Chains A and B, each alone.
Chain A
Amino acid sequence: MEWDWEFVREIMPTLLDGLRITLLATLLGSILAAAAGLGFALLRRSKSRPVARTTGVVVEFIRGTPLLVQLYFLFYVLPELGLLLSPLTAGVVGLGLHYATYTSEVFRAGIDNTPRGQWEAAKACNLTPYQTWRHVILPQAIPPMIPALANYFVAMFKETPLLSAITVIELMSEARSVANSNYRYLEPMTLVGVLFLCISLIAVPALHMLERRFRPTR
């Protein structure tokens, strides 16, 4: 089978449309993963044992099971419980929660790395727990975590094709539909791979830059 540039030119706009949705899902998923990951990390450090224990079990369970099945679960089971999510919403929630279990470990490590003296100083200054977290611990703990977090966001980007399984019209499903309607798989599938590779390759130097920028100074 020959590579057909004419066909490539024809399908490129459709694929780029799909790429937009892919990037949107990655962006929203990353925001959710960062927020929920911080939530998980804080809950796991909760003083109440049952809360900490339950969060631990939930996080382990989400991390030990495939994202695809979780997406199906969100997409098919929740509507039965009366919660109807649009495909994109279900996809973003699935991606976000799945990766939150990974980012929560990053947050945990970052928080544990804050020197004891900072906690003691906060206590000595009579700060409330909220003030301690907000003004002392998190501002120090978060910058060194940024490269590790960004790493997971790139990984999430590569998992977005799974959203096509729950009918989100992103890059992969656009490619599959043009492939199916034209009976040509070579160009669409290869282009999807190339687009993913391009963005990942752009992400690598960007990650190195982040690492240099936020290198811990201690």
Chain B
Amino acid sequence: MADWAGYLGLMLDGALVTAKLTVLGCALALPAAFAAGLGRLSRVSAVRTVSVAYIEFFRGTSIFVQLFWAYFVLPLMGVTLTPLQAGVLALGLNVGAYGAEVVRAAVQSIGREQHEACIALNLTRWQSLRHVLLPQAAVVMVPTFCNNAIELLKATSVVSLISLSDLTFQAQVVRSQTGSTALPFLTVLVIYFTYASLISLGMKALERRMTRGLDGLRT
């Protein structure tokens, strides 16, 4: 029983890796989502095609396959990634593809009159996006992004299969060393759930902040 402190330490190390993966994954997913989501609305057909191909490819194949591909096949093409880099790359691009659809839907949900007002004010496309459409669309995106972030958190468990010592991996280590199964897995489940709750709380606070002053504007 005295060893429990040590094993708990091991799992907390794993929890740190999981947190790092989640944060870095989100940091990649967010720009990817905006780039592809806005790219899909572009007037240039080449940009649209590339965005659609990216979105459909990453949504159509499983995160698991993408991760294995990044880790095992990319080195054959001369790009060697550490497990952490492969994990962040696959997670970020995968969730980014889902996020892209959220961005597109949110921008399209802004009323026609806003577009027309931008034209009437003679704003350039970039100005109307930057100052009129995105500030309103961002509010619509937050709740769905919250779900995406939690999906990303849950998907991080898959990196344990390419030998990255995240939370799930450490649970397996503890299981194989102690032979005890219920305790490590329950601990890990509780830690994941705590993370998910934290993300959800943080996003709710962000949503409240962003909608401040917007009441009554929405019909």
Residues in chain A within 8 A of chain B (CB atoms): 1, 61, 64-70, 72-73, 76-77, 80, 158-162, 165, 172, 176, 179, 185-186, 189-190, 192-193, 196-197, 200-201
Select one of B65, B72, B154, B189 contacting A196, CB under 8 A.
Answer: B65
Compute how far the CA of A196 lies from the CA of B62 in the bound complex, rounded to whole angstroms: 7
CB nearest to B189 among chain A residues = A65
The one of A67, A162, A190, A201 that contacts B69, using a Cβ cutoff of 8 Å: A190
**What is the bound-complex CA distance between A190 and B73, given in angstroms?**
8
- Give the segment of B116-124, B126-134, B155-163 that binds chain A: B155-163
Q: How far is the CA of A73 from the CA of B150 in the complex (A)?
A: 20
Task: Known A-B contacts: A72-B171, A158-B61, A197-B60. Give 7 more (CB < 8 A).
Answer: A61-B189, A66-B153, A158-B62, A172-B68, A186-B76, A193-B61, A200-B60
- The answer to whether B189 touches A193 (Cβ under 8 A) is no
How many angstroms between the C-alpha atoms of A73 and B186 in the bound complex? Answer: 8
CA distance A197 to B197 in the complex (A): 33
Instruction: Give the interface SS of chain B, mostly helix, strand, loop or mixed.
Output: helix
Task: State in angstroms the CA–CA spacing of A1 and B75 once bound together.
Answer: 10
A179 CA / B69 CA spacing, docked (Å)? 12
Residue from B60, B61, B168 within 8 A of A66 (CB atoms): B168
Neighbouring A residues of B73 by C-beta, 8 Å: 185-186, 189-190
| Cβ-defined contact, A1 with B76, below 8 A | yes
**Dominant SS at the A interface?**
helix
**Chain B residue total in the interface (Cβ 8 A):** 39
B157 touches A66 (CB 8 A): yes
Q: Which positions in B face A, CB cutoff 8 Å?
A: 56-57, 59-66, 68-69, 72-73, 76-77, 150, 153-158, 160-161, 168, 171-172, 175, 181-182, 185-186, 188-189, 192-193, 196-197
A159→B155 CA distance, assembly (Å): 10
Which residues on B sit within 8 Å (CB–CB) of A1?
76-77
Which of chain B's residues have a CB closer than 8 A to the CB of A66? 153-158, 168, 192
